[in-house]
């Protein structure tokens, strides 16, 4: 079975966010035929969009998963991520609102793809997109809370379609948002399976 490295953004700001994200990393590692390949530092981040809410905790996990065929691999992973979110009590709220757990598929190997939702699954809500999945994640290059932890794992990587490396994108966003927008608060201890 051919595997590909996927990078998954993790975020939470409701309840014990640190404990939730630790458990979510273990849930990712437990996915069928998956292998945890790395975990970034844990960051405390300023909310984006809706600022009247608690700070977030954010991280990125690298997971080797089955490649699948065409869009099958990334879609299977996306469905698994949504299932994990539901298992952790994720509630549907307004865009950029509080989250029990948010898991975003940021990168799936070197794939660049866009998959539309089936017509029957589209929402009447104009704020919701008709795109089921876009890889690389369309907003990742401009989200410091994604770029900081992703740069911990692959600073020199130039994701498909990006004009710059992850580290350069992080520096660009940090110059706009300020270094205080993302603060590392713990490093992942792979032996202990937790941030310390």
pLDDT of residue 108: 94
Set 18, 55, 64, 90: catalytic member: 90
Mean pLDDT for the stretch of residues 55-66: 96
> What is the torsional sign of CA 5, 160, 80, 187?
positive
Task: Based on the residue annotation, tell me whether 104 is a catalytic residue of this protein.
Answer: yes
Mean pLDDT for the stretch of residues 59-64: 98
Q: Which among 86, 85, 65 has a CA at the least distance from the CA of 77?
A: 65
pLDDT (tens digit, 9 = 90+) per residue, 137-151? 889 999 999 999 999
Set 5, 44, 102, 152: catalytic member: 102
Set 64, 104, 117, 134: catalytic member: 104
In sequence order, which residues have a C-beta less than 8 Å from that of residue 188 and are 6 or more positions away? 25, 39, 40, 41, 42, 59, 194, 195, 196
Question: For residue 188, what are its two tokens?
Answer: 């992942």
Residue 162 has pLDDT above 90, yes or no: yes
pLDDT of residue 125: 47
| Per-residue confidence band for 123, with pLDDT thresholds at 50, 70 and 90 | very low
Cite the DSSP H helix spans in 63-110: 72-87
pLDDT (tens digit, 9 = 90+) per residue, 67-103? 987 777 898 999 999 999 999 987 776 566 688 999 9
* Partner residues linked to 115 by β-bridges: 133
Residue 128 has pLDDT above 90, yes or no: no
pTM of the model: 0.90
Left (φ > 0), alpha (ψ -120 to 50) or beta: where does 70 sit?
A: left
Residue 159 has pLDDT above 60, yes or no: yes
Residue 58 has pLDDT above 80, yes or no: yes
Task: Based on the residue annotation, tell me whether 102 is a catalytic residue of this protein.
Answer: yes
Task: Based on the residue annotation, tell me whether 99 is a catalytic residue of this protein.
Answer: yes
pLDDT of residue 69: 75
Task: Based on the residue annotation, tell me whether 90 is a catalytic residue of this protein.
Answer: yes
Set 5, 41, 44, 99: catalytic member: 99
Domains of the chain listed by start with CATH number: 3-195 (3.30.70.560)
Cite the DSSP H helix spans in the chain: 17-29, 72-87, 144-153, 166-177
């Amino acid at each position: 079975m051919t595997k590909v490295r996927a990078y998954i953004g993790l975020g939470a700001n409701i309840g014990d966010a640190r404990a939730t994200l630790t458990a979510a990393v273990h849930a990712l590692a437990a996915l069928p035929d998956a292998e945890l390949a790395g975990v970034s530092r844990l960051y405390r981040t300023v909310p984006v969009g809706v600022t009247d809410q608690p700070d977030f905790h954010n991280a990125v996990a690298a997971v080797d998963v089955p490649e699948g065929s065409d869009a099958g691999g990334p879609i299977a992973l996306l469905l698994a991520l949504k299932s994990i979110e539901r298992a952790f009590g994720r509630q549907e709220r307004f865009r950029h609102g509080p989250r029990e757990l948010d898991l975003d598929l940021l990168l799936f190997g070197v794939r660049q793809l866009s998959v539309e939702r089936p017509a029957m699954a589209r929402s009447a809500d104009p704020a919701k997109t008709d795109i089921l999945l876009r890889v690389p994640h369309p907003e990742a290059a401009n989200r410091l809370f994604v770029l900081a932890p992703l740069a911990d794992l692959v600073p020199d990587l130039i994701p498909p379609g990006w004009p710059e490396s992850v580290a350069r994108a992080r520096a660009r966003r940090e110059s706009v948002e300020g270094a205080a927008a993302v603060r590392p608060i713990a490093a992942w201890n792979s032996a202990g399976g937790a941030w310390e």
